[in-house]
Chains A and B, each alone.
Chain A
Amino acid sequence: MILGLARSWSLTGYAIAALLVLPLFALILQAAQPDEAVFGHLLSTVLPTYISNSLWLILWVSIGSLLLALPCAWLMARCEFVARRYLQWALLLPLAMPAYIVAYVYTDLLDYAGPVQTGLRSVFGWSSPQDYFFPDIRTLGGAACVLSLVLFPYIYLLARTAFMEQSLSLAHASRIMGCSPWQSFWRLSLPMARPALAVGVALVAMETAADFATVNYFAVPTLTTAVYDTWLGYGNLTAAAKLSAIILLVVFSLIGVERFARRKQQLFQKQSRIQASDLYRLSPMQTLLALGYCITLLLLAFVLPSGILLSYAIDYFEQSWDPIFWQLSVNSLSLALITSSVCCVIALILMFIRRVSPRSSDALPSRLASTGYALPGTVLAIGVLVPLTLLDFAINDVADWLGMTGPGLLLTGSTVALVFAFCVRFVAIAIGSVETSYKRISPSLDMVSLTLGQSPRRLLQRVHLPLLTKGLFAGALLVFIESMKELPAALLLRPIGFENLATYVFQFVSDEKLEHGALPAIVIVLVGLVPLIYLNRSLEQDSR
Chain B
Amino acid sequence: MKWVTCAALLGLMSVAQSAHADEKLTVYSYRQAFLVEPILKRFTDETGIAVNVVFAKDGIAERIAREGRLSPADLVLTSDFSRLVELVDKDLTAPVKSEQLNSNIPAQYRDPDGQWYALTMRVRNLYTAKDRLGPQAISYEELADPKYKGKICTRSGKHPYNIALVASMIAHHGEADTKTWLQGVKTNLARKPQGNDRAQVKAVKEGLCDIAIGNSYYYGNMLQDPEQKSWAEAVAINFPNQADRGAHVNVSGMVLTRYAPNKDNAIKLMEFLSADVAQKAYAEVNMEYPVKADVAPSTLVASWGEFKSDQLPIFKLAEYHQAAVKLLDEVQFDL
Q: Which residues of A contact B (CB under 8 A)?
A: 12, 41-42, 45-46, 49, 112-113, 127-129, 136, 138, 218-219, 221, 228-229, 231-235, 237, 334-335, 338, 341-342, 345-346, 348-349, 378, 381-382, 385-386, 389, 392-393, 396, 406, 408-410, 412-416, 419, 491-492, 494-498, 507, 510-513, 515
> How long is the Cα–Cα vector from A228 to B159 in the complex, in angstroms?
12
Contact B196 A342 (CB under 8 A): no
Binds A, one of B60-68, B103-111, B273-281: B60-68
Q: Which residues of chain B are within 8 angstroms of A219 by Cβ–Cβ distance?
A: 156, 192-195, 334
B interface vs A, CB < 8 Å? 1, 3-4, 6-7, 10-11, 13-16, 18, 26, 32-34, 52-59, 61-63, 66-68, 70-72, 86, 156, 158, 163, 191-196, 198-199, 202-203, 205-208, 227, 322, 325-326, 329-330, 332, 334-335
Q: A483–B331 Cα gap in the complex (Å)?
A: 38
Residue on A nearest B70 in the bound complex, by CB: A409
Report chain B residues within 8 Å CB of A419: 11, 14
Question: Which residue from A127, A136, A415 sits with its C-beta under 8 Å from B16?
Answer: A415
Q: CB distance B4 to A496 under 8 Å? A: no
Question: Which residues of chain B come closer than 8 Å to A507, judged between CB atoms?
Answer: 32-34, 55
Which residues of chain A come closer than 8 Å to B10, judged between CB atoms?
A: 338, 341-342
Would you call B207 and A415 a contact (CB within 8 A)?
no
Contact (A409, B61) CB under 8 Å given A338-B10, A342-B10: no
> B54, B68, B163: which contacts A389 (Cβ < 8 A)?
B68
Given A49-B335, A345-B4, A412-B67, 10 more A-B residue pairs with CB atoms under 8 Å apart are A45-B330, A231-B62, A232-B59, A338-B10, A393-B68, A409-B71, A496-B54, A510-B57, A511-B196, A512-B199
Offer 11 A-B interface pairs, CB within 8 angstroms, sorted by A. Answer: A49-B332, A219-B192, A221-B335, A232-B58, A234-B322, A235-B61, A341-B7, A385-B66, A408-B72, A414-B16, A419-B11
Q: Which residue of A lies closest to B334 (CB)?
A: A221
Chain A residue numbers with a CB within 8 Å of B335 are 46, 49, 221
With a CB–CB cut-off of 8 A, which chain A residues contact B196? 510-512
Closest Cβ of chain B to A34, distance in Å, is 16
Q: Which residues of A contact B207 (CB under 8 A)?
A: 112, 127-129
Residues on B with beta carbons closer than 8 Å to the beta carbon of A231: 58-59, 62
Question: In the complex the two chains form, is A409's CB within 8 Å of B56's CB?
Answer: no
Find out whether the CB atom of B199 lies under 8 angstroms from the CB atom of A348: no
**Least CB separation from A335: chain B residue:** B14
- When distances are taken between beta carbons in the complex, the residues of chain A under 8 Å from B191 are 136
Q: Which 4 A-B pairs have the closest CB atoms?
A: A219-B194, A414-B16, A45-B329, A497-B52
Task: Compute how far the CA of A374 lies from the CA of B7 in the bound complex, rounded to whole angstroms.
Answer: 24
B192 near A112: Cβ-Cβ < 8 Å: no
- Knowing A221-B335, A491-B56, A512-B195, the reply to whether A416 touches B11 (Cβ < 8 A) is yes
A415 to B26, CA, bound (A): 17
How far, in angstroms, from A127 to B207 measured CA to CA in the complex? 9
Q: Is the CB of A349 within 8 A of B192?
A: no
Q: Give the most central of B199, B208, B329: most A CB within 10 Å.
A: B329
- A136: chain B residues at CB < 8 Å are 191
Which residues on the A side are within 8 Å of B202 (C-beta)?
Answer: 113
* Cβ-neighbour of A41 out of B52, B59, B208, B326 (below 8 A): B326
**Of the candidates A49, A232, A389, which one forms a contact with B67 in the assembled complex, judged by CB atoms under 8 Å apart?**
A389
Look across to chain B and name the residue whose beta carbon is closest to the beta carbon of A420: B11
Measured CB to CB, the nearest residue on chain A to B15 is: A414
Give every chain A residue within 8 A of B7 (Cβ-Cβ).
341-342, 345-346
The reply to whether A112 and B208 form a contact with Cβ atoms under 8 Å apart is: yes
Output the least CB separation between A446 and chain B (Å): 19
Which residue of the partner chain, among B6, B59, B329, contacts A46 with CB atoms under 8 Å? B329
Chain B neighbourhood of A12, CB < 8 A: 1, 4
Bound-complex Cα distance A386 to B66 (A): 7
Q: How far is it, in angstroms, between the C-alpha of A412 and the C-alpha of B54 when the chains are bound?
A: 14
| Bound-state Cα–Cα, A45 to B3, Å | 51
User: How far does the alpha carbon of A49 sit from the alpha carbon of B335 in the complex, in Å?
Assistant: 8
| A416 nearest in chain B by CB position | B15
In the complex, which of the residues B3, B33, B329 contacts A345, with contact meaning CB atoms closer than 8 Å?
Answer: B3
Distance A346 CA – B191 CA, assembled complex (angstroms): 48
**CB atoms of B86 and A235 under 8 A apart:** yes
* From A127, A233, A393, A513, residue with most partner B Cβ within 10 Å: A233
Bound-state CA distance A46–B334 (Å) is 10
How close is A306's CB to chain B, nearest CB, in angstroms?
21
Nearest opposing residue in chain A for B327, CB measure = A45
Would B58 and A228 count as touching, CB distance under 8 A?
Answer: yes
